[in-house]
Structure 1
Amino acid sequence: MSLRWRRPRPPGPWRPGNRLQLLENGEQFFPRAFAAIAGARSEVIIETFILFEDRVGRDLQRALIQAANRGVRVELTVDGYGSPTFSPEFLSELVGAGVRVHVFDPHRGVLGVRVNVFRRLHRKLLIVDGTRAFIGGINYSVDHCAESDPQGKQDYSVEIEGPVVGDLLSFARAALAGDGTGERWRHPAAEPERERAGDAEVLFELRDNRDRRTSIEREYRRAIREAKREIVIANAYFFPGWGLLRELRRAARRGVKVTLLVAAESDTPIAHPATRTLYRHLLRAHVDIVEYCERPFHGKVALIDEDWATIGSSNLDPLSLSLNLEANVFVRDKAFAAMLRESLTALRQRQCRQVDAKQLGRRGFWFTLTRPLLFHVLRRFPRWAGLLPAHTPRLLRVTSPVDVEQAT
């Protein structure tokens, strides 16, 4: 799984005729996802970074077992780093019902520390009967329920019907047939034979460590360059490459209203200090910066003008843009963009604070010494990580008690 240079793969095709429904937080996502699984007749495919054995995880387990008992083919893939431990009973009950459980790149910890931190399967996909799909940033854990957990994450997913679901299904099957990365998958040349469900044009795009390493960032940058009136980026971990920062500054300087919504605090200690190193650079170009204060912000969404949006698993940081396996959809549709804009506007009005240069204070000696160092270390981190000994990931199929031990 080398990170050596490869010719970038051309962008995939935009599929017309889709219907999308924005889902905010676990309160909206889990009922829709579990209802879709309950209605499945032939196939359920799930990929998730995190599946915890909590209330939400057990609800998902029951839904999958019931589907398998009806004769539905159920494929569940979790990441070996994001979902490191399950009780033997939890997995055995799934396997015993006929659920095909896969663990991407499992590794035992060293002295209790997880070591497979790089090149993780960070995608969050659910495809039901090849007709309905869900994609976004929400994992299967109770900490995505804002109403029941004071620290519940603010996040988004989208439910999709229409031709683009065929692309998600084709990819998910290819990933299962290989090593889980799906790196050799190609968009079908012909449009999938699906009935039109709405008016939205949708592009399904991936980031991998082969020839799609810049695919998601490339779509962001293309849309930013074409922006005429407004750019809103709401991202949990914002520390993109210099090229994307340059595009944002150029957009703001040509009169586009650019708003960046980020977390006031982060569940990753280094993330917020890294983002703050960019504040002065962006404020000087008249980029509007707001911090979400109420709960951890976990969203990965953006809006440009009246009819462009994106939602998926990819953050705008070195891990997502340079190492992780990610999946986003890009949308051209005024109705969906309006739904997302309404949600982000309400979020900003109630629970965000404005950032200005005066709040940042004067730069002391320690700031002058450490912040530039932090910036350059983090920017070069993916390249350094790519120099580490690479390994070929494996997709472990859990079929027996021995596999259960390896998976936990």
Structure 2
Amino acid sequence: MAQQWIKGNKFTLLENGEEFFPRVFEVIANARREVVLETFILYEDKVGLALREALLAAARRGAKVDITIDGFGSPDLSDEFISGLTEAGVRVHVFDPGMRLFGQRTNVFRRMHRKIVVVDCERAFIGGINYSADHLLDFGPEAKQDYSVEIEGPIVAYIRRFAYAAMTVDKSGWRWPRFRKAPAPERLPVSGQAEALFLWRDNHRHRDDIERQYRLGIRLAKKRVIIANAYFFPGYRLLKELRKASRRGVEVVLILQGMPDMAIVKFGASMLYSHLLRARVRIYEYCARPLHGKVALVDDEWATVGSSNLDPLSLALNLEANVFIHDREFNHQLYEKLSYLMQHSCKEIQAEELQESSWWRRVRGFFLYHILRRYPSWAGWLPAHAPRLTVLASGASSTAQHKDTERVTETART
């Protein structure tokens, strides 16, 4: 399927679970024809149960409902949770259902990390928000800061076609999206002024499409670049574009985790601070709670929202999806949100605060330079597999399915 800029779309920014969950649940529950949903994480908490009710409402209205969850990210859904869906006609797909070894999950690499919803080929949602209660403020200090977008317009048909292709299952096992078997994009009416590009990352023909679009946006920047990304440890080429943009007078701002959900996240990003600050890149750490967003903007029109982090997992291993947007109104809306974060919940990092010797900085810089130049190709050496999609039968929970992958695959594949 051609990846191309599509005109005539409308984008609505949704911040955190408080805005995202009510809206997406309402749209799903009122579906007339179909719901296609992909998510990395689905937990059986108050958010997961609310999603389940919305899916059941759609199925009872006669809509065709397909959901895909990642076997690593959503490992412990109960028999009752799954069977209630499948008995109502919902098809539940599990990506890469790996077996456990000594109680540990083996499907660590190359996860299905996308978060996509398409309803009735009229609306779509893309972003970084999973279906779990830790995306709500009442979860407490560990609640995540994140973003998604609601999409209307012709680009929805292209997202829908991708979603259908991605859940194709055949006798040889699911491998890569097969667009010849997916429905052709419908001609949808114009809904707004935004031009949009839908991109995905896989381990086949689209390994670096999202990263290349990031680099292009940065390379063409004239005024500002703002990137808010939860897991930041990009490759050499993207860092080089950031430094070059800053040195030619573009205001380059990074919003990274100050209170990370995993300590290694901050450690990895902080190793890059000196290198970036020397090029006058401004770095803010978001300190109110864990940052989980994957958004960026350039100048006054370019923006992106999606599931892709800027780290080795997202750039070299995981299956991801982002939408890139050319729209002045949306860019301004995202800019206002990120500016508010910087002003009220962030600490700007100053070069003099970094306590490290010049000797250590030179040694670390040498190793970082060579690691960053090569890690995408090194990551490709990690355990690989032909990605497989399993359709759960009624009563087959994700936990049980992990224990006997071959049995469920043979009995439940359609």
SS in 1 for 2:137: coil
SS in 1 for 2:310: coil
Contact 1:145 1:153 in 2 (8 A): yes
Cα deviation digits, residues 120-170 of structure 1 (max 9, x gap): 100000000011000000000000112443311000000000000001000
1:71 aligns with 2:62: yes
Q: Distance in 1 between matches of 2:371 and 2:306?
A: 27
Report the equivalent of 1:3. none
1:195 aligns with 2:189: yes
After superposition, the Cα gap between the structure-2 partners of 1:271 and 1:177, relative to the gap in structure 1 and judged at 3 Å, is same
Q: Distance in 1 between matches of 2:191 and 2:38?
A: 24
Report the equivalent of 2:279. 285
1:406 aligns with 2:401: yes
After superposition, the Cα gap between the structure-2 partners of 1:104 and 1:83, relative to the gap in structure 1 and judged at 3 Å, is same
Report the equivalent of 1:391. 385
Cα deviation digits, residues 297-335 of structure 1 (max 9, x gap): 000000100000000000001110111000000000000
Contact 1:27 1:147 in 2 (8 A): no
Contact 2:87 2:394 in 1 (8 A): no
Report the equivalent of 1:97. 88
Q: Distance in 2 between matches of 1:205 and 1:110?
A: 35
After superposition, the Cα gap between the structure-2 partners of 1:372 and 1:52, relative to the gap in structure 1 and judged at 3 Å, is farther
Instruction: State the 1:390 CA deviation.
Output: 2.6
Aligned residues: 398
Among 267, 288, 308, the residue aligned to 1:314: 308
1:42 aligns with 2:33: yes
Instruction: State the 1:223 CA deviation.
Output: 0.9
Contact 2:142 2:289 in 1 (8 A): yes
Report the equivalent of 1:13. 4
Q: Give the AA of the match of 2:393.
A: T
Q: Distance in 2 between matches of 1:148 and 1:270?
A: 23
Instruction: State the 1:386 CA deviation.
Output: 2.3
Residue ranges of structure 1 left out of the alignment (5+ in a row): 1-8
Report the equivalent of 2:232. 238
SS in 2 for 1:29: helix
Instruction: State the 1:406 CA deviation.
Output: 1.0
SS in 1 for 2:9: strand
Residue ranges of structure 2 left out of the alignment (5+ in a row): 404-414
Among 351, 362, 365, the residue aligned to 1:357: 351
Aligned 1:194-273 pairs, distance under 5 A: 194-273=188-267
Q: Give the AA of the match of 1:113.
A: Q
1:27 aligns with 2:18: yes
Cα deviation digits, residues 44-95 of structure 1 (max 9, x gap): 0000000000000000111111211221111010000111111111111111
SS in 1 for 2:304: strand
Instruction: State the 1:392 CA deviation.
Output: 1.4
Contact 2:83 2:396 in 1 (8 A): no
Q: What is the Cα-based RMSD across aligned positions, in Å?
A: 2.3
Indicate the larger mover: 107-116 or 230-239. 107-116
Give the percent of matched residue pairs that are identical in Structure 1 and Structure 2: 54
Q: Distance in 1 between matches of 2:368 and 2:194?
A: 41
Aligned 1:308-387 pairs, distance under 5 A: 308-363=302-357, 380-387=374-381
SS in 2 for 1:349: helix
Indicate the larger mover: 251-260 or 148-157. 148-157
SS in 2 for 1:160: strand
Contact 2:162 2:177 in 1 (8 A): no
Instruction: State the 1:202 CA deviation.
Output: 0.5
Cα deviation digits, residues 211-260 of structure 1 (max 9, x gap): 11010011011111111001001100111110011111110011001101
Q: Distance in 2 between matches of 1:82 and 1:44?
A: 21
Instruction: State the 1:265 CA deviation.
Output: 2.9
Cα deviation digits, residues 183-228 of structure 1 (max 9, x gap): 4448x9x974000000000100011101110100110111111110
After superposition, the Cα gap between the structure-2 partners of 1:117 and 1:20, relative to the gap in structure 1 and judged at 3 Å, is same
SS in 1 for 2:167: helix
Report the equivalent of 2:146. 155
Report the equivalent of 2:119. 128
Q: Distance in 2 between matches of 1:180 and 1:261?
A: 37
Instruction: State the 1:388 CA deviation.
Output: 4.0
The alignment's TM-score, normalised by the length of structure 1, stands at: 0.92
Contact 2:200 2:322 in 1 (8 A): yes
Q: Distance in 2 between matches of 1:242 and 1:107?
A: 32
Contact 2:316 2:379 in 1 (8 A): no
Indicate the larger mover: 94-103 or 108-117. 108-117
Report the equivalent of 1:60. 51
Q: Distance in 1 between matches of 2:319 and 2:262?
A: 19
Q: Give the AA of the match of 1:25.
A: N
After superposition, the Cα gap between the structure-2 partners of 1:238 and 1:195, relative to the gap in structure 1 and judged at 3 Å, is same
The alignment's TM-score, normalised by the length of structure 2, stands at: 0.90
Instruction: State the 1:352 CA deviation.
Output: 0.2
1:175 aligns with 2:166: yes
Q: Distance in 2 between matches of 1:345 and 1:385?
A: 34
Instruction: State the 1:400 CA deviation.
Output: 3.6
Contact 1:138 1:155 in 2 (8 A): yes
